[in-house]
Chain A
Amino acid sequence: MTTTRTHLDRLENQSVFIFREAYHAFKNIAMPWSMGKDSNVLIWLASKAFFGRVPFPVLHIDTTYEFPEMLEFREWATAHYKLNLIVKINEEARARGIGYETHDPVTVTHELKTVALQQAMAQYKWDALITGIRRDEDPTRAKERYFSRRNAQFEWDYKDQPPEFWGQFATTAANGEHVRVQPLLDWTEVDIWRYIQRENIPIPKMYFAKNGQRYRSLGCSAITKPITSNADTIEAIITELETTRTSERAGRAQDHHERNAMQKLRAKGFL
């Protein structure tokens, strides 16, 4: 009989609790899935919460700039977890010629990710989205809530957020609004890796070093740069993270294109 729980057990318990609260509170719910490490931890936790199934659709916003390895992983994991996968491409923007070849990363990210998400929301009328954002990723995410309301324009009013305490959340969305449910909010990057290690969660191989380089965060192939690293095992990655003081998203161009880029993206509805 075990009566102690580790830090990871506590995080897992809390995330599962939030998954179940969200599934109960919202009739029409979906989970964006990027195939990145956090996203795969979400799939894993959902499978734990609902005993082996993900009882809502997962949404991949396909920017058409996806790494081939990621698309291969997508097909494998969809079959493996028996996911109800929805793939969404902003065909209209692509038709207009929006692309990294001709436009700046903030514009492209907005069009091919945020607008694509808005199109999917308009089509499927979800009243909640389960996302994998974490508080430690970026200063703008530090103020987030587990249940975070977005208005019809996808805007986030971070200055007047409802409090969350004693396991009670703001679980209602008015017409046209939706709620972002964020079960990984309290996890750190190292927690994610330790959990992937402990649970043996499948992730794309691009996170592991090959020829002295690896991807720490995965986005569009055109604007995501690998870091210099020899970390080819999870243990090596954890060791690397515990000594680095560089930010996780340093390799993601859209965050750094201009001052406060992340803030602007998020205020417009980016995850």
Chain B
Amino acid sequence: MKQSGNPHSALRTPHSADAAHLRIVFVGHVDHGKSTLIGRILSDTNSLPEGKLEQVQRACAAENMEFEFAFLLDALLEEQEQNITIDTTQIPFKTAKRNYMIIDAPGHKEFLKNMITGASSADAAVLVIAANEGVQEQSKRHAYLLSLLGVRQFCVVVNKMDLAEYSEVRFLEIEKKYREFLQTLNLETNVFIPASARFGENITARSTKMKWHKGPTLAEALDGMTPLAPPTDLPLRFCVQDVYKFDDRRIIAGRIETGMLQVGDELVFSPANKTSAVQSIEHWPITPPEPSARAQDGTAIAGDSIGITLREQIFVERGYVGSHSKDAPIETNRFHADLFWIARQPAHLSHLYTARLATQEVKCQIVSLDEVMDSSSLERSPTKADQLARNEVGRLTIQTRAPIVLDNHDRLPPLGRFVLVDDGMICGGGIIHGGIYTDRGAIKSKNIFWSEGKITAQARAAQHGHRGAVVWLTGLSGSGKSTIAQALERELFIRAMHPYVLDGDNVRHGLNSNLGFAPEDRVENIRRVSEMAKLMADAGNVVITAFISPYRADRQRARAIAMEGNAEFIEVFVDAPLEVCEERDPKNLYKKARAGQIREFTGIDAPYESPIDPEIVVQTNQQSVEESVASILERLLPRLK
């Protein structure tokens, strides 16, 4: 753009120094004096609109009420009048050193949902604890949730010291107890301030009643905190938002989450694992207005929204993550996380969600829920539940339908956190832990199947998270094959695996509808089932067959067919004595056989040849369906990895 021909160009003088802003979230147990503290800060830093203090004081006098600083906050927000409550509010204030933004939300049950929006971008937190009541449930809960959201700097105000006779002993007691708690959350060294918001002790002015306190006032402590610096010292993560071809340039647009990027850098794009060098960082206007604060020096750092062109035209799309080949992220389809849930509908193990991590979006399932945190005691306990309720935090494992690029949260927060989305709504957020970094060169040879070549069984297994297999159930009529097959299918399904049951019901009516029950027809029936199972296993499924399949030779052939297709074959003998099966007789077949209405019925007038060396045996006259399925799973799952 040519500035000279611009008749609307504003008159210019160099802009004034740009003061750093600090965003602080205020939290605390209900009635511990958070609103009073905010009102006091606004008042003592002269941050209130003109006449507001006097107006509220006059209103109190007219109502014959004692003035309280908490009223200032209410008056300022006009919450009653506006009828807008239950959400985050942002209130600015200033000290001599810098500008602040206070993020405030009511400290009740809806805390998490309401707080997330503002608190997740806070530089620091002020946590209010009343000296008379000490550390309470919410004092802990809020700190824990803020630490999950990514807040690292905490300033603890022990308020209402006037109600504890300004006692150093009481202050130290609370400090000790709470400091120990914060340490369990791995939070940074924290400032503790004894204060009385009501009387303005140690807020902006040093208290004369607590001369024993050698530390800072609240204002000093806040001024001593640092705005979150752009994480330039971490490895590069350039998350692609889009690829623009508005003109002859092909611009890869996105944001640098961490690290730095320079023209000429060789970048690896995950998950494709293709490399190319940065040819340019694109800008508009091409010539920056002078004096611009923004340098165009071929460098971009964490936080920058940029666009680059590449030297070699490799395929890149939204969701790809650019890094340097050294310190590349993890590429996986399975990861461990701590997940907090905010949707009304609980999180379910078998439900299909969309995970969003930076600009990536993949379908996923929670495949195991190991621990749930009690929201009041903060204790984790192992769980057998298959769902996570609103406001609960669970430790769990997630499996994705496509590879996802991530980092451990403690190493690189922006790529270590994700949200789960259901029906377009963000339902929860999680932080990732325990991922294993591998050498990117090694990954390249191992994972090359993501982008090129024939789809191998190994590639399918990697995408599905398990190998294909044939689980062959054999046993007498009434031994429980179909029941177990279905229960087993369900167990695998909720683990995000791909099981399918083949049984008489879905084979006899179609594929084998031309076959009867004569011995040669039975042999052909089993042969076709074996071939079918092989194909499905080759496609990556866990095929569970539920046929009497009484002849050893037939089962051996089924195994051989599966082996030809490189599929795992697992023979499961569903064992129950004939008397038990005959007693159960779910389809009245034994009665008909005994009555001579059915000929060549296995166990009555046709033989059943028990397996000699099956992989798994379950005895359904001694084990319940759940126990049988559990014992199959125990042996089966390791074979599917």
CB distance A163 to B12 under 8 Å? no
| Shortest distance from the beta carbon of A102 to any chain B beta carbon, whole Å | 31
The closest CB in chain B to the CB of A143 belongs to B87
B residues near A76, Cβ cutoff 8 Å: 7-8
Interface mask (A128-145 → B, CB under 8 Å = 1, otherwise 0): 000000011001101101
Complex alpha-carbon distance, A96 and B484, angstroms: 74
| Shortest distance from the beta carbon of A232 to any chain B beta carbon, whole Å | 8
CB distance B293 to A234 under 8 Å? no
| Shortest distance from the beta carbon of A176 to any chain B beta carbon, whole Å | 14
| Shortest distance from the beta carbon of A73 to any chain B beta carbon, whole Å | 6
B64 within 8 A of A: no
Option from B11, B15, B241, B286 in Cβ contact (under 8 Å) with A194: B15
Option from A77, A140, A234 in Cβ contact (under 8 Å) with B84: A140
B residues near A205, Cβ cutoff 8 Å: 8
B residues near A263, Cβ cutoff 8 Å: 82
Interface mask (A222-256 → B, CB under 8 Å = 1, otherwise 0): 00000000001111001000000100000000000
Option from B13, B286, B426 in Cβ contact (under 8 Å) with A233: B13
CB distance B12 to A168 under 8 Å? no
B117 within 8 A of A: yes
Complex alpha-carbon distance, A137 and B362, angstroms: 38
Given contacts A200-B10, A202-B8, A235-B13, contact A135 B90 (CB under 8 A): yes
CB distance B255 to A13 under 8 Å? yes
B297 within 8 A of A: yes
A residues near B11, Cβ cutoff 8 Å: 208, 232-234
| Shortest distance from the beta carbon of A242 to any chain B beta carbon, whole Å | 9
CB distance B293 to A6 under 8 Å? yes
CB distance B293 to A163 under 8 Å? no
| Shortest distance from the beta carbon of B237 to any chain A beta carbon, whole Å | 12
Given contacts A166-B120, A194-B15, contact A9 B293 (CB under 8 A): yes
Given contacts A51-B282, A198-B15, contact A163 B113 (CB under 8 A): yes
Complex alpha-carbon distance, A158 and B83, angstroms: 10
| B-facing residues in A138-163 (Cβ within 8 Å) | 139-140, 142-143, 145, 158-159, 161-163
CB distance A9 to B15 under 8 Å? no
A20 within 8 A of B: yes
Interface mask (B61-87 → A, CB under 8 Å = 1, otherwise 0): 000000000000000011001101011
The closest CB in chain A to the CB of B251 belongs to A51
Interface mask (A29-56 → B, CB under 8 Å = 1, otherwise 0): 0000000000000000001111111010
The closest CB in chain A to the CB of B6 belongs to A202
| A-facing residues in B131-170 (Cβ within 8 Å) | 149-150
Complex alpha-carbon distance, A167 and B418, angstroms: 10
| Shortest distance from the beta carbon of A12 to any chain B beta carbon, whole Å | 8
Instruction: Name which of B17-25, B34-42, B331-339, B381-389 contacts chain A.
Output: B17-25
Option from A48, A170, A235, A238 in Cβ contact (under 8 Å) with B426: A170
B232 within 8 A of A: yes
A260 within 8 A of B: yes
B residues near A238, Cβ cutoff 8 Å: 15-16
Count A interface residues, CB 8 Å.
73
B residues near A53, Cβ cutoff 8 Å: 246
| A-facing residues in B391-445 (Cβ within 8 Å) | 414, 417-419, 421, 424-426, 429
Q: Which bracket fits the contact residues of B? A: 35 or more
| Shortest distance from the beta carbon of B75 to any chain A beta carbon, whole Å | 12
A residues near B18, Cβ cutoff 8 Å: 6-8, 194
CB distance B10 to A172 under 8 Å? no
B27 within 8 A of A: no
CB distance B318 to A24 under 8 Å? yes
| A-facing residues in B295-309 (Cβ within 8 Å) | 295, 297, 299, 301, 303-305, 307
| A-facing residues in B262-310 (Cβ within 8 Å) | 262, 282-286, 289, 292-295, 297, 299, 301, 303-305, 307
| Shortest distance from the beta carbon of B227 to any chain A beta carbon, whole Å | 9
Interface residue SS majority, chain B: loop
| B-facing residues in A161-213 (Cβ within 8 Å) | 161-168, 170-172, 174, 188, 194, 196-205, 208
B residues near A23, Cβ cutoff 8 Å: 242
CB distance A16 to B10 under 8 Å? no
A95 within 8 A of B: no
Interface mask (B242-267 → A, CB under 8 Å = 1, otherwise 0): 10101001010111000010100000
CB distance B429 to A166 under 8 Å? yes
Given contacts A76-B8, A165-B116, contact A55 B426 (CB under 8 A): no
CB distance A234 to B284 under 8 Å? no
CB distance A161 to B230 under 8 Å? no
The closest CB in chain B to the CB of A11 belongs to B21
Option from B87, B255, B294, B356 in Cβ contact (under 8 Å) with A168: B356
B residues near A164, Cβ cutoff 8 Å: 116-117, 426
| Shortest distance from the beta carbon of A233 to any chain B beta carbon, whole Å | 4
CB distance A17 to B297 under 8 Å? no
B89 within 8 A of A: yes
CB distance A203 to B10 under 8 Å? yes
Given contacts A8-B293, A139-B77, A165-B120, contact A20 B253 (CB under 8 A): yes
The closest CB in chain B to the CB of A196 belongs to B10
A residues near B8, Cβ cutoff 8 Å: 73, 76-77, 202-205
Complex alpha-carbon distance, A20 and B242, angstroms: 7
Option from A5, A47, A139 in Cβ contact (under 8 Å) with B301: A5
Complex alpha-carbon distance, A166 and B151, angstroms: 12
B184 within 8 A of A: no
| Shortest distance from the beta carbon of A244 to any chain B beta carbon, whole Å | 9
CB distance A20 to B305 under 8 Å? yes
Option from A142, A163, A188, A234 in Cβ contact (under 8 Å) with B10: A234
Complex alpha-carbon distance, A5 and B241, angstroms: 21
A residues near B224, Cβ cutoff 8 Å: none
The closest CB in chain A to the CB of B91 belongs to A142
CB distance B242 to A170 under 8 Å? no
A122 within 8 A of B: no
B49 within 8 A of A: yes
Option from B49, B241, B255, B292 in Cβ contact (under 8 Å) with A199: B292
CB distance A17 to B305 under 8 Å? yes
CB distance A168 to B19 under 8 Å? no
| Shortest distance from the beta carbon of A255 to any chain B beta carbon, whole Å | 14
Complex alpha-carbon distance, A17 and B302, angstroms: 13
| Shortest distance from the beta carbon of B127 to any chain A beta carbon, whole Å | 20
A3 within 8 A of B: yes
Complex alpha-carbon distance, A53 and B381, angstroms: 55
Complex alpha-carbon distance, A8 and B251, angstroms: 24
CB distance B358 to A167 under 8 Å? yes
A residues near B9, Cβ cutoff 8 Å: 200, 202
A66 within 8 A of B: no
A residues near B313, Cβ cutoff 8 Å: none
Q: A7-B18, A165-B419 known; 4 other A-B pairs, CB under 8 Å? A: A10-B303, A13-B303, A21-B241, A80-B6
Chain B contacts to A: CB under 8 angstroms: 1, 3, 6-13, 15-16, 18-21, 49-50, 77-78, 81-82, 84, 86-90, 92, 113, 116-117, 120-121, 149-150, 230, 232, 241-242, 244, 246, 249, 251, 253-255, 260, 262, 282-286, 289, 292-295, 297, 299, 301, 303-305, 307, 318, 342, 356, 358, 414, 417-419, 421, 424-426, 429
Q: A-B pairs with the 3 shortest C-beta distances?
A: A172-B424, A165-B120, A202-B8
Q: List 7 A-B contacts (CB under 8 A).
A: A1-B262, A2-B299, A13-B303, A23-B242, A163-B426, A165-B120, A194-B15
